């Protein structure tokens, strides 16, 4: 199985080829919570205008690739809705896509997960724009020509990608599938302020912080480190891995790193703590 990541060298080579991939910048600024319930987000488009990979286009995951009619921030759209949005921005069913961001890699991972769900050939630029620049690769400033839409297309592949709240509630204590929270340790234990209604974690879950799986320069850590980080929490890949976080973003980076290890049986609880914590009857653990 090929890696879900692509290096700067590989991307630069592909961009000079006749059938170059389409590059999407998924940058989105999600501010840390200063107090419980503090949810603040800014578009990453200004960052893209300041500097981006030549020919790329910025996409806003919260508005373009989330269900705007849902009560939660990042509920995934239907697969046809994703295909329609891709066609609108010039991406066909058989096109190759590379995604990156300038905000830590989590929103690039989310877009990767959504596109992978519907069978798009998509990879994540390892290290994002900072690694691209560090390699001496060219950048563009300001806007790019508007994308030319392609003909609408029908999704022909749909992977098993999502787990619901009701399915989690029906899990038995003997269920061997690990439930992994991808948030930082302070959010997992409840020590840090939460963007959502209540602090804490879903009972029975373990913590593998997605941010700890990437180095300080944004590149993914080596497979040995990733495997050890998951194994330390009992995640070996022998069973399907269930993932959650605050709203399905950090969990997507967990999915990305698991796929890097060859663990493809993963599903994300899209509502995550935003949905779970809003229902007072649902338990949360602290400490």
What pLDDT, on a 0 to 100 scale, did the predictor assign at position 17? 86
d(CA 273, CA 203) in angstroms, rounded, equals 12
pLDDT tens track for 255-269: 999 999 999 999 999
45 Cα distance to chain centroid: 18
* Whether the Cβ atoms of residue 87 and residue 115 lie closer than 8 Å to each other: no
Task: Please give the Cα distance from 268 to 163 (Å, whole number).
Answer: 6
Residue 149 forms part of a structural domain? no
Residue 169 belongs to some domain of the structure: yes
Do 201 and 248 lie in a common domain?
A: yes
CB 23 within 8 A of CB 8: no
222 in a structural domain: yes
Task: Say how many domains are in the chain.
Answer: 2
Q: What is the pLDDT of residue 173?
A: 83
Could you say which residues of the chain have pLDDT below 70?
Answer: 1
Q: Are strands 5-6 and 121-125 parallel, antiparallel or unpaired?
A: parallel
Check: pTM over 0.85? Answer yes or no.
Answer: yes
Taking only the tens place, the pLDDT of each residue in 205-239 is 999 999 999 999 999 999 999 999 999 999 999 99
Strand partners, 201: 285
Structural domain that includes position 234: 162-276
The CATH number of the domain holding residue 71 is 3.40.250.10
What three-state secondary structure class fits 42? strand
pLDDT at 1: 64
CA distance 279 to 273: 10
């Amino acid at each position: 199985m090929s890696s879900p990541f692509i290096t700067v060298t590989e991307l630069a080579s592909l961009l000079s080829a006749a059938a170059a991939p389409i590059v999407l910048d998924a940058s989105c600024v999600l501010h840390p919570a200063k107090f419980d319930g503090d949810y603040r987000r800014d578009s990453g488009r200004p960052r893209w205008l300041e500097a981006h990979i030549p020919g790329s286009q910025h996409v806003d995951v919260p508005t373009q690739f989330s269900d705007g009619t849902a009560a939660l921030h990042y509920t995934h759209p239907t697969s046809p809705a994703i295909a329609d949005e891709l066609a609108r921005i010039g991406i066909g069913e058989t096109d190759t896509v590379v995604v990156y961001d300038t905000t830590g890699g989590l929103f690039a991972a989310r877009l990767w997960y959504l596109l992978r769900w519907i069978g798009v050939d998509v990879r994540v630029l390892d290290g994002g724009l900072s690694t691209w620049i560090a390699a001496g690769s060219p950048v563009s400033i300001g806007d790019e020509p508007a994308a030319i839409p392609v003909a609408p297309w029908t999704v022909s592949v749909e992977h098993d990608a999502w787990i619901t709240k009701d399915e989690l509630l029906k899990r038995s204590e003997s269920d061997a599938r690990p439930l992994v929270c991808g948030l930082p340790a302070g959010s997992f234990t409840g020590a840090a302020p939460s963007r959502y209604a209540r602090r804490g974690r879903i009972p029975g879950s373990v913590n593998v912080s997605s941010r700890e799986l990437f180095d300080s320069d944004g590149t993914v850590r080596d497979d040995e480190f990733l495997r050890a980080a998951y194994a330390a929490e009992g995640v070996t890949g022998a069973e399907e891995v269930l993932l959650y976080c605050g709203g399905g973003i950090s969990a997507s980076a967990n999915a990305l790193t698991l796929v890097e290890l060859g663990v493809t049986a993963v599903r994300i609880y899209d509502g995550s703590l935003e949905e779970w914590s809003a229902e007072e009857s649902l338990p949360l653990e602290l400490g």
